[in-house]
Chain A
Amino acid sequence: MQDIWENYDLFLKAFGLTLGLLVVSGVLSLLLGIFLAALRVGPVSLLRRLAAVYVTVARNTPLVVVFIFFATVGPRLGYTFNSVEQLDIGGYHVSGYFFRSCLALTLYTSAFVCEALRSGINAVPLGQAEAARAIGLTFAGSMRQVILPQALRAAVPPLASVQIALAKNTSVAAAFGMLEATARMKFFINRNADDMVLVFVIFALGYVLIVEVISFGANRFERRFAAAR
C-alpha cells in the first residue's frame, strides 16, 4: 500500500493517459459518428447502405481485434503513423502509440455514436418532420433547424452511455503498449501481491469516478436542455 502512496505520481500519470485517450477519442468519435448518422438517415440510398455496412462491421468486431489491426497489422503494412511524432502541439509530442490507440478507439466508438444519434432522430415525432416539410424546408434545413436540435437532446442518454463505455474501453490500450491506468494496476499488483484487493479497489474507484462524472454531466445537460414535450 505504501507503494502507491509513494508513487502517486505514477498513478496520476496513468489516469492522465486514460483521460487523454478518452477525451481525444471521444471528440473524434462524436465528429465521425455525426457524419455517419447523417449518411444513415440521408436521402441517398447507396450512402445509407455504405454507412450501415461500416456500422455493422465496427459493432460486431471485438475492440481487441480492432486494436490488433492498428497496433500490429497497420505497422506490418507500413502504416506506423510515426510521423505524428514530428508534430509539436504546444510543446507536447504525440506518440505514435497514442495516435494509433486513439484511431482504434475512434473508429470503433463512432459506430455506436452513429446508432445513438439515429435512435435520437427516431425519437423525434413524425409530425415535426412533416410540419418542417410543410413549411417548405429542404432536407438540410429541416435537419438543422427542426430535427437535430430535438434529436440531440433525445440522444443525450445513449450518447452518455457510449462515452462511458469508451472510458472503460480505453483500458484495452493497456495490452497494446500504453501505460495507462489498467497497465499501471498490473504493475502495482506485481509488486504488492499482498495488497492486491486494495490496489484493485483504488484503481477501480478511479474509473468509477470518471464514469460518475460523465453520467452526472449528461444528467445535468439533459435537465437543462430537455425538449419541451
Chain B
Amino acid sequence: MRIPTRFKAATAALLLAGSLAACGDAGSDDEGSDVEAEEVEEGKFEEGSKMAELAEAGKITVGVKYDQPGLGFKGATDELPSGFDVEIAKLLVADLGIDPEDTSAVDYKMTISDNREPFLQSGEVDLVLASYSMTPERQQVVGQTGPYMVTGQQLLVKKGSDITGVEDLKGKEVCSVTGSTSLENVEAEGAKPRGFETYSECRDQVLDGTVDAMTTDGSILLGYAALNPDELEVVGEEFSEERIGVGYPKENPEMCEWINGVIEESIENGDWAAAFESTLGKSGAETPEPPALDECPAA
C-alpha cells in the first residue's frame, strides 16, 4: 500500500493551483501623507548640479528601509514604502519636481544597514534615508547632512519589565541586528547578545518572551511601541546620541545645501511635524522639537 509519487505530485499541483482561486481582502491602503510635486522654475538649480540633472531626468533613486515600521516599511503588496524616513524623502523628491508617488519616476530601493555606504559610493542610489546615523567614519566615504531627527540607543521591553535602563542589563538576553554597533554596545555592558536579521524579528522575540529586551535607536523602538502600545514600552535614558541624517554621494557636495534647505523649509511650514505625526506620532509619541541642522562642509 504505497501512495504513488505521481499521486503525491498531482495533489501538490492541485494545491498550488487551488491557492490561486482565493477570496479574501487583507491589507491596508495606508500610504502616508500626500506630497505634491512642485513646479521647478528655470534656474532653480545651478547649471550642472546633481539636482538639476535629477530634475531634468525626472528620475531618482532613494535608498530606504523596508522592515522598520514607522520609519521605512513596505508590505509585500504595497506600492510604496511608508514611514518618517520615507516622508522626508518624499519632500526632497517633490522639491525636484518629481511626483513622489509615481514609482516609475522614483525608485525606493531597499537598503539594509550593511550596504548603505556602498550604495552611495557606486551611484546605485542618489540619496539614502534609512535611519542613517551620522558618524565621522561614514563622512569619510559618503556625504551626510541633517540631522532631520535626533535619537539614541534605548531599550524596548515588555510592559512591567524590571529593566529600567542600561544598568540592568547584566546577564540579560538582549536582541538586536547581528553585527550592529547597538549589539556590541550591550555586549560591552555584560548582556548576552542575541542577533537576528531584522529589528522586526527582535520585536517578536520581546513580545514572545524569549529575550528580556531589544535595543537600537529610540526612533525605531518608538515605531514598534506604537504598533503594540498595550504590551511594549521604551525605557531608559538614551545611552548614546544618534543623529539621523540624509546620505548623499560624496562627489556631489552641492546636494548638502539643497537638502538642508528643504528640511529647514519643511520645519518652518509644518510639513516636518505633519510627517512625524502621520508616522511615528501615531503611537502617541510626542512630536519632538525639530533638531538644529549641521553646517554644510565648505564645498
Which residues of B157-210 have CB atoms within 8 Å of chain A's CB atoms?
A: 173, 175, 178-179, 184, 192-197, 201, 204-205, 208-210
Of the candidates B114, B179, B208, which one forms a contact with A76 in the assembled complex, judged by CB atoms under 8 Å apart?
B208
Please name all residues of chain A whose beta carbon is closer than 8 Å to the beta carbon of B194 when the two chains form the complex.
Answer: 97, 177, 179
Q: How far is the CB of A191 from chain B (nearest CB, A)?
A: 9
Contact A75 B209 (CB under 8 A): yes
Cα A125 to Cα B29 in complex, Å, equals 66
Q: Is the pair A179, B210 in contact by a Cβ cutoff of 8 Å?
A: no
Nearest-Cβ distance from residue A174 to partner chain B, whole angstroms: 7
A8: chain B residues within 8 A (beta carbon): none
Least CB distance, A15 to chain B, in whole angstroms: 16
A1-53 contacts to B, CB under 8 A, are 45, 49
Closest to B209 in A: A80
Q: Whole-angstrom distance from the CB of B175 to the nearest CB of chain A?
A: 7
In the complex, are the beta carbons of B209 and A82 less than 8 A apart? yes
| Complex Cα gap A70–B201 (Å) | 13
Residues of A within 8 A of B211 (CB): 177
A175 and B114 contact, CB distance less than 8 A: no
Contacts of B192 in A (CB 8 A): 95
| Central interface residue in A76, A82, A177, A187, by most chain B CB within 10 Å | A177
Complex CA gap A183/B184 in Å reads 13
Chain A interfacial residues counted at CB < 8 A: 22
Closest Cβ–Cβ distance, residue B10 to chain A (whole Å): 15
Q: Which residues of B contact A175 (CB under 8 A)?
A: 178, 196-197
Please tell me the number of chain B residues within 8 Å of chain A, measured between CB atoms: 20
Q: Is B14 an interface residue (CB 8 A)?
A: no
Which of chain B's residues have a CB closer than 8 A to the CB of A189? 179
Contact assessment for B114 and A75 in the assembled complex, using a CB-CB cutoff below 8 Å: no
For window 99-158 of B, CB contacts with A under 8 Å fall at 114
Residues of chain A within 8 A (CB-CB) of B175 are 177
Interface string of B68-105 (1 = CB under 8 A from A): 00000000000000000000000000000000000000
- Closest B residue to A80 by beta carbon equals B210
Query: Which residue on chain B has the smallest CB distance to residue A189?
Result: B179
Which of A45, A76, A95, A96 has a CB less than 8 Å from the CB of B204? A76
Does B1 have its Cβ within 8 Å of any Cβ on chain A? yes
Closest A residue by C-beta to B3: A49
Chain A residues whose C-beta falls within 8 Å of the C-beta of B184 in the assembled complex: 187
Across-interface contacts of B178 in A (CB, < 8 A): 174-175, 183, 186-187
A190:B209 contact, CB within 8 angstroms:
no
Inter-chain contact B210/A190, CB cutoff 8 Å:
no
Q: Do residues B209 and A177 form an inter-chain contact, with CB atoms below 8 A?
A: no
Q: Nearest Cβ in chain B — how far from A14, in angstroms?
A: 12
Max chain A C-beta neighbours (<10 A), residue from B173, B175, B179, B194: B179
Identify which of B1, B194, B204 gathers the most chain A CB atoms within 10 Å of its CB: B194
- Could you say which of A75, A176, A190 contacts B196, with CB atoms under 8 Å apart? A176
CB–CB B208/A75 < 8 A: yes
Q: B239 CB to closest chain A CB, in angstroms?
A: 20
Chain B residue at minimal CB-CB distance from A186: B179
CA distance A207 to B171 in the complex (A): 29
A77-95 CB contact bits vs B (8 Å, 1 = yes)? 0001010000000000001
CB distance from B11 to the nearest CB of A (A): 12
Residues of chain B within 8 A (CB-CB) of A72 are 201, 204-205, 208
- Are A183 and B195 in contact, CB atoms less than 8 angstroms apart? yes
Alpha-carbon gap, A82 to B210, bound state (A): 7
Partner of B1, one of A45, A75, A95, A187: A45
How far is the CB of A7 from the nearest CB of chain B, in Å? 12
* A175 and B175 alpha carbons, distance in the complex (Å): 12
What 1/0 mask marks residues of chain A from 167 to 185 whose CB sits below 8 Å from any chain B CB?
0000000111101000100
What residues on A are CB-neighbors of B208 within 8 Å? 72, 75-76, 80
14 A-B pairs with CB atoms under 8 Å apart are: A45-B1, A49-B1, A71-B210, A75-B208, A75-B210, A76-B204, A80-B208, A82-B209, A95-B192, A96-B210, A97-B194, A100-B210, A174-B178, A177-B196
Can you list the 6 inter-chain pairs with the closest CB atoms, starting with the nearest?
A75-B208, A177-B194, A186-B179, A190-B179, A187-B179, A75-B210
Give A residues with C-beta under 8 Å from B: 45, 49, 71-72, 75-76, 80, 82, 95-97, 100, 174-177, 179, 183, 186-187, 189-190
Q: B residues touching A (Cβ–Cβ < 8 Å)?
A: 1, 114, 173, 175, 178-179, 184, 192-197, 201, 204-205, 208-211
**Interface contacts beyond A95-B192, A177-B195: sample of 11 additional A-B pairs, CB < 8 Å, sorted by A:** A45-B1, A75-B204, A75-B205, A75-B210, A76-B204, A80-B210, A82-B209, A100-B210, A179-B193, A187-B178, A187-B184
